[in-house]
């Protein structure tokens, strides 16, 4: 995106301040043009200059210093703003960084905020001042900042503060300077437009109190475009089979129920995206010919990278919606139409082709990052967030493997496993892409551009009640709203660059959309395009999509380059088309597998915020890799799989999903309660009617390493016994629980309920309540309570806990232990612990969002010490 040019935006002739001129100094923020939009709607002619491009200060009625990354104490971060503050003779409004620069110029100290606050709503209390005329004393605003003005200097008056006393606005009593720490231009800030109107009233007191009369704007007449040629028939056929029979090369876009098949044509460059419309689209036409393909993440960044884009021209396409099949071409070609209909109609009498994907040809997966290296990058990103350099960083990594796969078979398997509304297949001369994207990057239709950023996800529930609880939590969760809001404000900013002033709207904000496997928080932002804006202009303003960069976009992309140290390529760019009628539709390239030169590549990432937990973020990487892992039949890189065969454990690339499991913590050859784990596993096998695992467990004893920190998992299923040797995850010190009523089949056997439990596990774990209202256990641990000096265990149908058994046996020697039947309300006031092999003892600090009584530290540390002393070396370890 181009942020280095001076721009002049004319004001709305009907605005109150039409004729006024405002200079906006852009500190390379991703929200600056939201300010510009407000000013232009009010009638002001706005000149925008980046802080690296000084301009003469004469001829303006007012100056606005924008938000931005960094600190005013670093001269390069505010650039030309410093000169403005020395020389400006007109009113100046500073927003966020602009306000900090203003205060620092007058002698204030800039300090870290008590906590970084980005995309969160706060209530402020404002004083009487011309800036706040007509605005309630208390109102809600959106904040994006890590630094604050610690104390206003002499000569500045405080105008607003938060409930906890942080300075949110001020003015210079000697100069005509005003500043706000928050972001009045955010879509969720109240009275933002009125604040800018008040500022212009200060700067231009001679302005009319009423809007100017309508001004007629001459629009050039446009000659009608020739229509596309469309033929339609009713056929029941699979779009993938059509793609195959037409050559199996080009693009198959299956966007929201309509499929477009574009056979591969002439490869073209980026300049093709600047072409004006050449044809009109008849009513009822399902698709259009044009330019199809992908834009890589670095396509518009000026970076030298392999595969920045892959675009081709398709003068004729096939479009399918249900049983409606259309052939659409720029010019009627009898031979192309006849041949294409013959090939397509030949599919009508055939069953859908089932293509075989041989996962055994996929080599071992490798991840570009280890858990430790990725978490170190997260910590570095959080340091930069705390320093005010960025608000949010969308950090990514990639998995790859040697693979010789049929792209069509790969896509067929992927769309079966991951239903998605914006899926696509590209088969191009140099590479192929199979994508199951859930997210639209942007769509252009009828002169309107819209984007649908996704931020916020929950899994689908295992029953209607649980599903609705997850959906409701996503709809109301402040953290998810903050992430989504940040990208909404960024997209508004980007579309303002190419949209007609005043037409940028968030039509749908924080909507929960439910897909086959997840609920997602989606917002829709749209704008009416300026008449002379081409698709390449739109892309220069919006690409890459903000949900894959973070904000502010320019600085954050620099941080991403430093942290990731490798090009993303196809991943996190866009896949779609530019139609010959001027329409366009692009999906975000996520959940996508790229095949190139005998290798498979899969990008995966997540948003890093100030409050992000590095361990949870790494687990999200593992979780988001699930579609690829399932397709490949492999574990996440770092795990080692062994199949029990002929009395021994043989290394294999992968093992099937198990029916029965048991896990334990292995550190330097020592395990706590190994015999009890083996007994529980044996009892589970017997309950499920499996063979005795005695020989398998003996082989495990022989095979377990005596060095390192591991979390092995014993597994059993229809294909036999197996061992999954996994690196030991980071252990929690405390646990936050969410309660849920769940019907658990085979509660005494560990394994059959894995799928159910994986959906429920949030925020750290879920407390399971029986249908009768009895507290049972969590999805991963036993629960015990302390009633004074008495330990309480749960009298409920549940799994026998090895860690609980060991602890109870030790506790009985010192204090009383009772088994009780408890309901959720009975837990009030009790100290709660969770117990399992991985985390040991963790006190419950939160239940259903409410804090729990603090643990008795001496008791907690005593029993942790006792439990740690129970580890013993496994006999006959190699």
Alpha carbon distance 779, 767 (integer Å): 7
User: Roughly what angle, to the nearest 10 degrees, separates helices 614-624 and 371-386?
Assistant: 130
Q: Choose, from 183, 309, 519, 596, the residue flagged as catalytic.
A: 183
φ and ψ of 460, to 5 deg: -75, 145
Contact 52, 81 (CB under 8 A): no
State the DSSP code for 131. G
Q: Choose, from 96, 188, 204, 776, the residue flagged as catalytic.
A: 96
φ and ψ of 835, to 5 deg: -130, 125
Answer yes or no: 96 catalytic.
yes
Answer yes or no: 183 catalytic.
yes
Alpha carbon distance 204, 237 (integer Å): 65
Distance from the first to the final alpha carbon of the chain: 58
- Asked if omega into 544 is within 30° of 0 (cis), the reply is yes
DSSP string, 249-289: -EEEEEETTEEEEEE---EE-GGGGGPPP-SBPPTT-----
Burial of 569 by CB count in 10 Å (0-12 exposed, 13-18 middle, 19+ buried)? buried
Q: Choose, from 45, 185, 190, 759, the residue flagged as catalytic.
A: 185
Alpha carbon distance 592, 570 (integer Å): 9
Pairing relationship of beta strands 156-162 and 109-126 according to DSSP bridges: antiparallel
DSSP string, 6-70: -EEEPPPTTSTTTT-EEEEEE-S-SSHHHHHHHHHHTT-EEEEEETTS----TT-SEEEE---SS
Alpha helix positions (H), 625-738: 626-632, 674-687, 694-703
DSSP string, 559-590: HHHHHH-S--TTTTSEEEEEETTS-EEEEE--
Q: Which of these, 263, 262, 255, 259, lies nearest to 238 by C-alpha position?
A: 259
Q: Tell me the C-alpha to C-alpha distance, in Å, between residue 44 and each of 60, 429, 453.
A: 10, 51, 30
Answer yes or no: 191 catalytic.
no
Contact 658, 715 (CB under 8 A): yes
Alpha carbon distance 38, 199 (integer Å): 12
Q: Any residues with CB less than 8 A from the CB of 342 and at least 6 apart, and which?
A: none
Q: Which of these, 847, 795, 840, lies nearest to 817 by C-alpha position?
A: 795
Contact 420, 411 (CB under 8 A): no
Q: Which of these, 118, 736, 626, 27, lies nearest to 381 by C-alpha position?
A: 118
State the DSSP code for 594. E
| Catalytic residue numbers, as ranges | 96, 183, 185
């Amino acid at each position: 995106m181009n942020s280095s040019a001076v721009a002049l935006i004319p004001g709305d002739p009907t605005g109150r301040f039409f004729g006024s001129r405002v200079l906006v100094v852009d500190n390379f923020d991703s929200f600056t043009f939201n300010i510009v939009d407000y000013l232009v709607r009010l009638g002001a002619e706005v000149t925008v200059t980046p802080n690296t491009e000084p301009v003469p200060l004469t001829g303006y009625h007012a100056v606005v210093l924008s938000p931005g990354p960094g600190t005013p104490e670093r001269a390069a971060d505010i650039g030309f703003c410093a000169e403005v503050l020395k020389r400006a003779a007109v009113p100046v409004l500073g927003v966020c960084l602009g306000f900090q620069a203003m205060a620092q110029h007058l002698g204030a100290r800039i300090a870290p905020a008590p906590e970084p606050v980005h995309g969160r709503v706060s209530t402020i209390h404002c004083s009487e001042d011309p800036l706040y005329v007509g605005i309630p004393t208390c109102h809600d605003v959106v904040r994006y900042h890590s630094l604050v003005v610690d104390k206003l200097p002499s000569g500045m008056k405080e105008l607003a503060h938060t409930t906890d006393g942080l300075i949110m606005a001020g003015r210079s009593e000697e100069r005509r300077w005003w500043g706000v720490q928050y972001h009045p231009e955010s879509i969720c800030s109240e009275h933002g437009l009125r604040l800018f109107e008040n500022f212009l009233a200060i700067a231009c007191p001679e302005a009319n109190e009423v809007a100017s009369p309508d001004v007629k704007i001459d629009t050039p007449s446009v000659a009608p475009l020739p229509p596309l040629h469309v033929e339609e028939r009713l056929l029941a056929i699979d779009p993938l089979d059509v793609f195959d029979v037409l050559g199996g090369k080009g693009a198959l876009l299956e966007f929201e129920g309509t499929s477009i098949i574009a056979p591969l044509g002439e490869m073209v460059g980026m300049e093709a995206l600047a072409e004006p419309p050449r044809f009109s689209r008849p009513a009822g036409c399902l698709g259009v010919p044009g330019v199809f393909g992908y834009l890589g993440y670095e396509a518009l960044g000026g970076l030298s990278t392999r595969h920045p884009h892959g675009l081709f021209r398709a003068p004729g396409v096939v479009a399918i919606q249900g049983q409606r099949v259309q052939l659409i071409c720029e010019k009627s070609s009898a031979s192309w139409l006849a041949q294409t209909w013959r090939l397509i109609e030949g599919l009508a009498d055939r069953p859908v082709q089932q293509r075989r994907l041989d996962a055994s040809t996929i080599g071992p997966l490798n991840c570009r990052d280890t858990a430790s290296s990725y978490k170190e990058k997260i910590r570095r990103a959080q340091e930069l967030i705390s320093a005010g350099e960025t608000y949010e960083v969308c950090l990514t990594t990639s998995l790859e493997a040697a693979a010789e796969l049929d792209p069509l078979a790969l896509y067929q398997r992927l769309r079966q496993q991951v239903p998605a509304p914006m899926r696509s297949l590209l088969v191009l001369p140099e590479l192929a892409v199979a994508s199951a994207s859930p997210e639209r990057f942007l769509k252009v239709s009828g002169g309107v551009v819209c984007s649908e950023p996704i931020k916020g996800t929950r899994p689908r529930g295992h029953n209607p009640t649980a599903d609705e609880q997850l959906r409701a939590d996503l709809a109301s969760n402040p953290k998810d709203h903050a992430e989504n809001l940040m990208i909404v404000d960024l997209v508004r900013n980007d579309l303002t660059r190419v949209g007609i002033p005043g037409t940028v709207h968030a039509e749908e904000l924080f909507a929960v959309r439910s897909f086959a496997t997840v609920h997602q928080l989606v917002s829709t932002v749209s704008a009416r395009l300026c008449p002379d804006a081409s698709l390449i202009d739109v892309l220069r303003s919006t690409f890459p999509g903000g949900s894959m960069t973070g904000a502010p976009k320019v600085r954050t992309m620099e941080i991403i380059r430093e942290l990731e140290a490798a090009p993303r390529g196809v991943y996190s760019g866009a896949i779609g088309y530019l139609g010959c009628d001027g329409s366009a539709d692009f999906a975000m390239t996520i959940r996508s597998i790229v095949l190139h030169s005998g290798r498979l590549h899969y990008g995966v990432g997540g948003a890093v915020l100030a409050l992000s937990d590095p361990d949870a973020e790494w687990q999200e990487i593992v979780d988001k890799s699930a579609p690829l892992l399932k397709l490949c039949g492999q574990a996440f890189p770092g795990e080692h799989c062994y199949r029990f065969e002929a009395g021994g454990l043989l290394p294999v690339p992968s093992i099937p999903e198990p029916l029965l499991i048991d896990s334990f913590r292995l550190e330097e050859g020592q395990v706590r309660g190994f015999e009890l784990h083996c007994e529980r596993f044996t009892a589970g096998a017997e309950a499920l009617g499996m063979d005795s695992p005695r020989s398998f467990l003996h082989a495990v004893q022989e095979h377990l390493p005596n060095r390192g920190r591991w979390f092995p998992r014993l597994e059993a299923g229809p294909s036999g016994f197996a061992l999954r040797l996994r690196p030991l995850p980071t252990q929690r010190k405390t646990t936050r629980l969410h309660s849920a009523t769940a019907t658990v089949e085979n509660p005494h056997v560990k394994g059959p309920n894995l799928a159910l439990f994986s959906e429920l596990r949030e925020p750290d774990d879920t407390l399971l309540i029986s249908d009768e209202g009895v507290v049972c256990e969590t999805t991963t641990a036993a629960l015990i309570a302390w009633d004074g000096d008495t330990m309480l265990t749960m009298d409920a149908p549940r799994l026998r806990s090895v860690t609980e058994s060991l602890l109870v046996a030790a506790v009985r020697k010192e204090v009383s232990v009772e088994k009780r039947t408890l309901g959720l309300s009975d837990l009030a006031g009790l100290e709660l612990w969770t117990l399992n092999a991985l985390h040991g003892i963790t006190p419950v600090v939160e239940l259903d969002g409410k804090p729990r009584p603090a643990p008795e530290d001496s008791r907690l540390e005593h029993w942790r010490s006792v439990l740690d002393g129970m580890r013993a070396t496994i006999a006959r370890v190699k």
